[in-house]
Structures are given as C-alpha cells and as structure tokens.
C-alpha cells in the first residue's frame, strides 16, 4: 500500500537561510517553492533521488509549523509516505485504529491529495500520506 517515502518535512525558521544549507552546501536541487495559504506555511522542495526534502517556514506564529518551532525548535517535522489510493489507504488505517488528523484527504503542497496521521499513534512521528 505504501509505495515509498515521498519526502521528509523539516520545520525551519527561515527558508532563505535554510536554502543555502540544503541547496548550496548539500547541493540538493530545488524543484519547487510555494505558499500553502490554508496551512499558513511556505514550502520549498529539494529533490533527493526518488524522494524529496520539504522545508517548511511558517507565515504566521500561530500556524502549526509556528507552534512546532516554538515548542521543539527546528528539525524533522513529518515523514510523508506515498500511496496509490489515499482515500482507500486512509479508510484502511482508520479501520485498524490509526489516529487521524484528517478524516478525509485534502489538497496539500503541489496540488496533491494528502492526509495526516497523528503522532500519538506512531511513536511521536507525524505521518503524511500523499497520492500523486
């Protein structure tokens, strides 16, 4: 059901500063940047083979990423698994007792269908499901 790790999400204070590290120092190639207004976040995607690194900068302090930074500082925020059929995957995981944040898939960065699973169900790790 889960095909691959689509990306790792990393919370950062400043995209501008972080892009220098992930882009220039590590040499990753940026493949996109956009603001996801609904999530109050600005994201930059860097390609790593078949996967990506997603840098997330809050556009307001009261956003989910802003609160995460306040509480835990910069660092890995979520892991994103790619699935073939997100609606089906979400229903199956709910049936198995997975705590979900999104009852239904919604549109996330890149226009893809996404849904988040609560970290309390997965050893403290926030999980994003994504259908391309």
Applying CB under 5 A, which residues contact Zn ion? 9, 54, 80, 128
Cα 34 to Cα 65: distance, rounded to the nearest angstrom: 15
Tell me the HSE value of 19 on the side-chain side, using a 13 A CA sphere: 14
CB of 108 to Zn ion, least distance (A): 7
Classified as helix, coil or strand, 9 is: strand
Q: What one-character-per-residue DSSP string does 20-81 give?
A: IIIIIIT-PEEEEEEEEGGGTEEEEEEEETTEEEEEEEESSTTSHHHHHHHHH-SEEEEEEE
Residue (36 or 95) nearer to Zn ion, CB: 36
Q: Which is nearer to Zn ion, 37 or 95 (CB)?
A: 37
Taking the complex as a whole, how short is the minimal distance between the CB of residue 42 and Zn ion, in angstroms? 13
- What residues contact 88, with CB distance under 8 A and at least 6 apart? none
Closest CB to Zn ion among 59 and 95?
59
- Minimum Å gap between C-beta 43 and Zn ion is 7
State in angstroms the smallest separation of the CB of 91 from Zn ion: 21
Q: Which is nearer to Zn ion, 95 or 126 (CB)?
A: 126
């Amino acid at each position: 059901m889960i095909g691959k790790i689509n990306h790792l999400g990393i919370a950062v204070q400043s995209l501008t500063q972080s892009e220098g590290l992930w882009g220039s120092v590590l040499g990753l190639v940026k493949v996109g940047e956009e603001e996801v207004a609904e999530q109050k976040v600005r994201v930059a995607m860097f390609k790593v083979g078949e996967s990506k690194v997603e840098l997330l900068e809050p556009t307001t302090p009261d956003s989910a990423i802003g609160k995460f930074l306040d509480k835990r500082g910069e660092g890995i925020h979520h892991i994103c698994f790619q699935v073939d059929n997100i609606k089906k995957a979400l229903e199956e995981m709910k049936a198995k007792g997975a705590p979900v944040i999104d009852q239904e898939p919604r549109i996330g960065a890149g226009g893809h269908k996404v849904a988040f699973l609560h970290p309390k169900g997965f050893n403290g790790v926030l999980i994003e499901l994504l259908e391309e």
